[in-house]
Amino acid sequence: MIPQRTLVVGDVHSGLRALKQVFERAKVTSADKLIFLGDYVDGWSEAVETVDFLIELDETHHCILLRGNHDELCLKWLADDEDNDMWLQHGGQSTMDSYLNADESVSDIHIMFYENLTNYYLDEKNRLFLHAGFTNMKGVEHEYSTKTFYWDRTLWETALSLDSDLMVESPYYPKRLKNYSEIYIGHTPVTYMGKTTPQRAANVWNIDTGAAFKGPLSIIDVDTKEVWQSDPVHLFYPKERGRN
């Protein structure tokens, strides 16, 4: 019997070709639990194809599909015809173009996909998975606004700011980090730090390795911490800008 792995997938941003490549490199099977951290669209040109792939994958694999801020922005446009210049400038235009070139029936199916995304996932080992973060020191169950789960950046900023010598028992150690054994997020590309591999700060792991820009798409095994990466995603789309 093939042992089940728990694999976390970073922000895809419509980079379907890179997603397929990193799946091959990680030798993903239906025995694996796949946790996607959100932001499936906004970046490269294959928004519709990426969501189609995920819908089909969810039928054959054990998938946890979390909600990202870009997924919520796309839903608002699809369902309510709501858009804004900021969204269009940060990858939304390529997503809009992808849907405008698709069959009209796709929209209803994809609206359901976006609406059914999960804000966070807590596993049996008290590991928390979500797109961005949370602010309530008692944990995600006490968060005041669900938008925080896919917009917050203070969780990662707090983890980065900690002195590596600070003990968890210290009264200065952030209480919200103590709630979970590990926390896995995306949202803020580690390429901003000059990195292209998943990064850990305190007990927070950031798996967004800049796939929307010039970084690769990453998968990490949460138990062994083995990492697999695609080629830099922009190489799959040489005539496109992505979010660069």
What are the pLDDT digits (tens) for 194-230? Answer: 999 999 999 999 999 999 999 999 999 999 999 999 9
What is the spatial distance between Cα 125 and Cα 158, in angstroms, rounded to a whole number? 23
Does residue 176 lie in a domain region? yes
pLDDT > 90: percent of the chain: 97
Q: What secondary structure letter does DSSP report for 11?
A: -
Instruction: Flag whether 228 is in a domain.
Output: yes
Please state the domain count of the chain: 1
Q: Write down the pLDDT at residue 1.
A: 56
On whether residue 243 sits in a domain, the answer given is no
Instruction: Using alpha carbons, select from 187, 121, 182, 113 the residue that is nearest to residue 152.
Output: 187
> Mean pLDDT across the stretch 6-10?
98
pLDDT value at residue 3: 64
Flag whether 242 is in a domain.
no
> What's the confidence (pLDDT) of residue 28?
98
DSSP SS3 for 212: coil
In a domain, 86, yes or no: yes
CATH number at residue 187: 3.60.21.10
10 — pLDDT class (breaks 50, 70, 90): very high
For residue 179, the model assigns a pLDDT of 97
Is the separation of the CB atoms in 134 and 122 below 8 Å? no
**Average confidence score pLDDT of the chain:** 97
For 141, the domain range is: 6-236
The pTM (predicted TM-score) of the whole model is: 0.97
